[in-house]
């Protein structure tokens, strides 16, 4: 299936698409509108998702950006609603406290939740909707991350960031004039979460070759097309042209649809996302704040592209793999995780008992495949990844933060995130491949040079 050629509305087909990859692709997103003055279609969205009495959730910033207009549109259409406004201009955190506050104010006579905001408000509302058993919809105020149409929320639970699965929002409304007025850093974050897809798609294909992991070319192609359109719109994003902002919003919504289609987050998240996950884990462990998700993954993307460039020059061989297997020290591996993650390290160490990624047998088997398919793997990197210098030039012109120091992260934390990326989830990354063939430490050296240059 070539999903990149289908109009957005067609992708929402209830029956989905029987695909050559063996899966039926569908999303639970029922209604989507991206464009100027889309907020005027709010009553249409509510009726499409079966909502008669929404609970509108916003904070003071998103109230100013869109909440007031949303409420006026509801009143104009004679739709009764309840308003839950977090009376703060500080960044809301996706944590138990805020979800509890939302739950205490939830009016059970409401039959849907209308999130007015970006990532955090959307995530809180998705969890609230799951708990209350009502559908959610979002009026997006900034194109800052790709969770609009995804079936999960990123939440802090007991001081640890976790992915919690929820139903996908039933409606997404992106008024591009509202979004074009978003804070500049949020626009940049959206671009960061999009350029991440270069690496996500590359890592997905690598794992497909090495592990036979499920992969769908149709879903990957849909993501590639969306990314290419965003890259063609950079000048317009800089100028806050609503058309260009709409392209970013569309890319971010499509990333959510791609994840639903594939039933895994692979099309939208790879090694570059691990930097963000690990930096958030470190920040929570140390009681510090952290930057926007999209900004962090943008930095992660810019950091790893030169490492992939070096990776393509390697020639893996079995002798090196055997030497690495002999040299592997499980105690030192666990001690390093404890040094980097503190208390949070124990579950990461414990999960090795079921994941067994450090086992010599699996490592030999994967390495044999890597060696056998090395030319193909290099070709995948050639096909998926942009030239690091060219992308850096374009991102610098846009003002995207590109170095850990730009977002308050030390070079050491960046190196630790690189080395430990293979340990945080049961997911095969290019760093997993480097470790398998005995080149991960050298990869970290390359990254160190990039960081110090």
Specify whether the CB–CB gap between 208 and 200 falls below 8 A.
no
| Options 17-25, 59-67, 173-181, 348-356: segment touching Zn ion (CB under 5 A) | 17-25
- Among 51, 218, 221, 404, contact with Zn ion (rule: CB under 5 A): 218
Nearer to Zn ion, 171 or 270 (CB): 270
- Considering the rule CB under 5 A, would residue 123 count as an interface residue with Zn ion? no
Nearer to Zn ion, 112 or 268 (CB): 268
Nearest to 176 by CA among 125, 139, 123, 230: 139
- Measure the CA–CA gap between 218 and 169, rounded to whole angstroms: 23
Nearer to Zn ion, 29 or 154 (CB): 154
| Options 12-20, 164-172, 426-434, 436-444: segment touching Zn ion (CB under 5 A) | 12-20
Nearer to Zn ion, 2 or 372 (CB): 2
- Considering the rule CB under 5 A, would residue 251 count as an interface residue with Zn ion? no
- Measure the CA–CA gap between 377 and 69, rounded to whole angstroms: 50
* Closest CB 8 distance from Zn ion, rounded Å: 18
| Options 61-69, 76-84, 217-225, 360-368: segment touching Zn ion (CB under 5 A) | 217-225
Tokens 């080149």 locate to 439
| Options 130-138, 160-168, 191-199, 302-310: segment touching Zn ion (CB under 5 A) | 191-199
Specify whether the CB–CB gap between 418 and 389 falls below 8 A.
no
* Closest CB 357 distance from Zn ion, rounded Å: 23
Specify whether the CB–CB gap between 197 and 255 falls below 8 A.
yes
- Considering the rule CB under 5 A, would residue 21 count as an interface residue with Zn ion? yes
Nearer to Zn ion, 21 or 103 (CB): 21
- Considering the rule CB under 5 A, would residue 6 count as an interface residue with Zn ion? no
The DSSP bridge partners found for residue 162 are 155
Nearer to Zn ion, 140 or 370 (CB): 140
- Measure the CA–CA gap between 56 and 137, rounded to whole angstroms: 10
Residue partners of 133: CB distance under 8 A and separation at least 6:
none
Torsion of CA 127, 131, 132, 134, to 10 degrees: 50
Residue partners of 243: CB distance under 8 A and separation at least 6:
176, 233, 236
* Closest CB 48 distance from Zn ion, rounded Å: 26
- Among 59, 123, 193, 416, contact with Zn ion (rule: CB under 5 A): 193
Which residues within the stretch 353-392 sit at the binding site for Zn ion (CB under 5 A)? none
* Closest CB 453 distance from Zn ion, rounded Å: 26
Nearer to Zn ion, 117 or 218 (CB): 218
Question: Strand 112-117 to strand 24-25: parallel, antiparallel, or no bridges (unpaired)?
Answer: unpaired
Nearer to Zn ion, 51 or 147 (CB): 147
Rg of the chain over Cα atoms, rounded to whole angstroms, equals: 22
End-to-end CA distance of the chain: 44
Specify whether the CB–CB gap between 258 and 223 falls below 8 A.
yes
Backbone conformation region of residue 22, classed left if phi is above 0, alpha if psi is from -120 to 50, else beta: left
| Options 13-21, 131-139, 422-430, 438-446: segment touching Zn ion (CB under 5 A) | 13-21
- Among 92, 113, 206, 216, contact with Zn ion (rule: CB under 5 A): 216
Applying CB under 5 A, the site for Zn ion has a residue count of: 5
- Considering the rule CB under 5 A, would residue 19 count as an interface residue with Zn ion? yes
If residue 93 lies in a helix (H) or strand (E), which one and from where to where? Answer: none
Q: Which two tokens stand for residue 423?
A: 């340990």
Nearer to Zn ion, 30 or 273 (CB): 273
184-211 and 374-384 helices, crossing angle to 10°:
160
| Options 21-29, 30-38, 60-68, 280-288: segment touching Zn ion (CB under 5 A) | 21-29
| Options 122-130, 215-223, 278-286, 405-413: segment touching Zn ion (CB under 5 A) | 215-223
- Considering the rule CB under 5 A, would residue 190 count as an interface residue with Zn ion? no
Nearer to Zn ion, 247 or 367 (CB): 247
Given CA atoms 9, 125, 277, 373 in this order, what sign does their dihedral have?
negative
* Closest CB 227 distance from Zn ion, rounded Å: 13
| Options 11-19, 61-69, 125-133, 339-347: segment touching Zn ion (CB under 5 A) | 11-19
* Closest CB 1 distance from Zn ion, rounded Å: 6
* Closest CB 402 distance from Zn ion, rounded Å: 17
Q: What strands lie across the sheet with 136-140, from one edge to the other?
A: 31-35, 171-175, 136-140, 112-117, 54-59, 82-86
Q: For the chain, give the longest Cα–Cα distance.
A: 74
The DSSP bridge partners found for residue 156 are 95, 161
Nearer to Zn ion, 263 or 411 (CB): 263
- Measure the CA–CA gap between 378 and 359, rounded to whole angstroms: 25
* Closest CB 216 distance from Zn ion, rounded Å: 3
Nearer to Zn ion, 218 or 316 (CB): 218
Give residues in contact with Zn ion (CB under 5 A).
19, 21, 193, 216, 218
């Amino acid at each position: 299936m070539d999903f990149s050629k289908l109009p957005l509305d067609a992708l929402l087909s209830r029956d989905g698409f029987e695909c050559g990859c063996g899966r039926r692709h569908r999303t639970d997103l029922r209604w989507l509108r991206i464009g100027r003055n889309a907020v005027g279609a709010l009553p249409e969205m509510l009726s499409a998702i079966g909502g008669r009495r929404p609970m509108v959730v916003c904070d003071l910033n998103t109230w100013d950006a869109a909440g007031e207009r949303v409420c006026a549109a509801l009143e104009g259409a004679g739709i009764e609603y309840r308003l839950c406004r977090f009376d703060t201009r500080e960044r809301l955190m996706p944590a138990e406290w805020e979800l509890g506050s939302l739950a205490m104010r939830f009016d059970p006579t409401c039959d849907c939740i209308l999130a007015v905001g970006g990532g955090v408000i959307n995530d809180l509302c998705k969890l609230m909707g799951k708990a209350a058993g009502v559908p959610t919809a979002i009026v997006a105020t900034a194109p800052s991350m790709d969770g609009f149409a995804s079936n999960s929320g990123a939440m802090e639970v007991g001081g640890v960031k976790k992915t919690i699965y929820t139903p996908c929002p039933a409606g997404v409304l992106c008024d591009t004039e509202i979004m074009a007025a978003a804070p500049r850093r949020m626009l940049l974050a959206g671009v960061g979460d999009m350029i991440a897809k270069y690496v996500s798609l590359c890592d997905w294909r690598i794992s497909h070759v090495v592990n036979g992991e499920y992969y769908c070319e149709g879903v990957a192609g849909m993501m590639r097309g969306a990314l290419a359109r965003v890259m063609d719109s950079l000048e317009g994003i800089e100028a806050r042209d609503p058309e260009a902002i709409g392209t970013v919003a569309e890319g971010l919504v499509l990333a959510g649809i791609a994840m639903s289609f594939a039933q895994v987050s692979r099309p939208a998240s790879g090694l570059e996302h691990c930097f963000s996950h690990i930096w958030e884990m470190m920040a929570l462990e140390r009681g510090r704040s952290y930057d926007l998700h999209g900004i962090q993954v943008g930095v992660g993307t810019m950091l790893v592209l030169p490492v992939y460039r070096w990776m393509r020059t390697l020639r893996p061989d079995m002798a090196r793999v055997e030497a690495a297997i002999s040299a592997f020290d499980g105690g030192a591996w666990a001690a390093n995780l404890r040094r980097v993650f503190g208390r949070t390290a124990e579950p990461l160490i414990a999960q090795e008992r079921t994941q067994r990624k450090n086992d010599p047998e699996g490592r030999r088997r994967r390495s044999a495949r890597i060696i056998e398919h090395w030319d193909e793997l290099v070709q995948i990197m050639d096909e998926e990844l942009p030239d690091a210098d060219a992308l850096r030039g374009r991102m610098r012109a846009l003002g995207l933060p590109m170095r850990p120091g730009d977002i308050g992260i030390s070079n050491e934390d960046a190196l630790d995130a690189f080395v430990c990326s293979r340990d945080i989830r049961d997911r095969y990354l290019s760093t997993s491949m480097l470790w398998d063939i005995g080149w991960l430490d050298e990869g970290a050296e390359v990254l160190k040079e990039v960081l110090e240059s």
